[in-house]
Amino acid sequence: MTLPVQPATGEPGAGALPVASGGWLRPAAERPAEPRWGHPEGIQVGLHPLRGPRGLLRIYTPYLDHPRDRLLNFVAVEPIRAGETRRGLSELEHSALDDAPGKRFWSSDHFEDDAPRDPTDAAAGVLEQLDGVEHLTVWVHSERFENGAEVSVRVRFRADRPHEVAVAGFRRPGSAELDTCVLTATMGNFARLRRLHLRDRVVTPTELWPEFTGPHFAEHARFGVDDLVRKNGSVVVFATTDEEAPHEAVYSDDTSVHWHYVGNRAVQGWRVEEPSPDLQVLVNARWAYWASTSPIPGGVSFENFEVLEPFRDGQEFVFWVEPHLSDVDLDLLTER
């Protein structure tokens, strides 16, 4: 039996609603189709024209009591060409395909099938058994970056882990050589993440940038492998809010409503199962919400939250989001 995920009309221009069948959420067969995949009641990933800027993966977490159009975070694709330090910026670079801000992302069932298409011509994704567990895999392709990088991102969900998604960057034929391909969670300010949980301590924005104010980004803070929790060969890092009830925050009158937190608070984290010894976790912060001078309730909070490694084709980074119940439960979240 195949049913719409929710009796909603979807977002204008995004196409037919995805359907839930066989334990998975996948785009409808009709065209145009809303590009959205994942677990019907768990974590989901979507593409433009779903709400938000182009050039970003959308992360949805309906199990936090979010409306279906409310996303928790974005993931940007930011490749760095070999020998350079400047990042390609999937959200901020201009599209050569559409003459619009933001790179065009589109989907397919296979890495080789990378010809540009409309994002609402959405791939169904491939179901496969890996190590005895069913997975749903979809490929997200980006147009060429200004620095010559051409990359695709494999997005993969596990049937037995409904609150996590694995993303991995691949260099396409014709791409410039890469030093790294950063997959960065870009919107920590929505949840007002202020506690970064490391191996033996918790760090906060006020400790890292005690005098920081203004409408720009703070400089990145960096933490190496030795700073991170180790679990059976993997490394784990996560961030939480310091607010008991973020949905009750009081905002300045000029704060756009899309910054108002809704739903339950959560823990957001990264896990890398085969880390490089050169792996680093990077965070930056903001005092005001993006593209505004509206102050963030409670002060500075982390914004971009990412793992940086020397480029390895197909290196996988697992992004996970769990409900934040109590500090006692946080220790359990690193167990896999």
Using alpha carbons, select from 226, 240, 261, 132 the residue that is nearest to residue 194. Answer: 240
pLDDT the model gives residue 325: 75
pLDDT the model gives residue 259: 98
Same domain assignment for residues 306 and 325: yes
Same domain assignment for residues 177 and 194: no
Residue keyed to tokens 């899309």: 258
Quote the pTM value: 0.95
Domain end marker among 186, 219, 246:
186
Contact 251/288 with Cβ under 8 angstroms?
Answer: no
Domain end marker among 158, 186, 214:
186
Which amino acid is present at 158?
Answer: R
Same domain assignment for residues 275 and 164: no
DSSP notation for 182-201: EEEE--HHHHTEEEEE-SS-
Which amino acid is present at 81?
Answer: R
Rounded to an integer, what distance in angstroms lies between the CA atom of residue 269 and that of residue 322? 9
Domain end marker among 151, 186, 221:
186
pLDDT the model gives residue 2: 31
Mean pLDDT by 10 residues, the chain (336 residues): 41 92 98 98 98 98 97 98 98 97 98 98 98 98 98 98 98 98 98 97 98 97 97 95 97 97 97 97 98 97 98 98 78 56
Same domain assignment for residues 122 and 243: no
pLDDT the model gives residue 329: 64
Same domain assignment for residues 286 and 231: yes
Contact 141/126 with Cβ under 8 angstroms?
Answer: no
Identify the DSSP state of 101. B
pLDDT the model gives residue 142: 98
pLDDT the model gives residue 134: 98
C-alpha dihedral sign at 4, 163, 282, 254 = positive
pLDDT the model gives residue 10: 75
Identify the DSSP state of 21. E
Same domain assignment for residues 158 and 228: no
| Number of separate domains in the chain | 2
Rounded to an integer, what distance in angstroms lies between the CA atom of residue 270 and that of residue 102? 25
Pairing of strands 71-81, 178-185: antiparallel
Same domain assignment for residues 48 and 170: yes
Same domain assignment for residues 201 and 133: no
Tell me the residue range of the domain where 237 lies: 188-336
Same domain assignment for residues 161 and 242: no
Same domain assignment for residues 154 and 235: no
Identify the DSSP state of 147. T
pLDDT the model gives residue 13: 81
Same domain assignment for residues 164 and 194: no
3-state secondary structure of 76: strand
Same domain assignment for residues 5 and 135: yes
Rounded to an integer, what distance in angstroms lies between the CA atom of residue 107 and that of residue 34? 11
